[in-house]
């Protein structure tokens, strides 16, 4: 999933505030039958943090605690957009239905330092999110 970040986010990260950035990916499953309104949702919180001593970037999965290091911010952001697997229970998507997984990534403004939050809530430039991406579910 490619990302395009606006100027305020990049300016904040140039000042090494990455350690305060949090990302939430919302997964939404909806069966393609219009009569069925059943949905499944989950949150996948991630954080990108700059490590000054090693001059590298760390991508942290806050759900599992796993950490991966990258040489540049661009590579860390690219890794943030890769989801290798997302287990969905078979009871949520029975085999007789065609199901899709929809994912959207947004900036969690609550993860910003307290002095930056008022500006983030007032300025529309801080309401950052991707478009919905859709993939068919496979067993």
CA distances (Å), 102 to each of 29, 39, 125, in order? 6, 11, 24
The answer on pLDDT for 50 being more than 50 is yes
The pLDDT assigned to 130 comes to: 73
Summarize pLDDT for 66-109 with one digit per residue, the tens: 899 999 888 887 887 777 766 666 666 666 666 777 777 777 77
The answer on pLDDT for 41 being more than 60 is yes
Which range (2-6, 47-51, 103-107) has the least confidence?
A: 2-6
User: 49-56 contacts: CB < 8 A, separation 24 or more?
Assistant: 49/18, 49/19, 49/21, 50/13, 50/16, 50/18, 50/19, 52/16
Q: Give 68 or 50, the one with higher predicted confidence.
A: 68
């Amino acid at each position: 999933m490619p990302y395009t970040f606006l100027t305020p986010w990049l300016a904040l990260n140039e000042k090494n505030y990455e350690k305060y950035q949090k990302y939430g990916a919302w997964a939404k499953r909806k069966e393609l039958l219009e009569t069925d309104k059943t949905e499944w949702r989950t949150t996948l919180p991630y954080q990108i943090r700059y490590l000054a001593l090693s001059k590298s970037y760390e991508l942290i999965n806050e759900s599992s605690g796993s950490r991966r290091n990258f040489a540049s911010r661009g590579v860390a952001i690219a890794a943030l957009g890769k989801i290798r697997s997302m287990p969905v229970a078979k009871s949520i998507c029975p085999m007789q239905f065609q199901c899709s997984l929809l994912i959207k990534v947004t900036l969690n403004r609550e993860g910003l330092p307290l002095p930056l939050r008022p500006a983030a809530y007032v300025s529309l430039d801080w309401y950052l999110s991707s478009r919905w991406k859709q993939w068919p579910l496979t067993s």
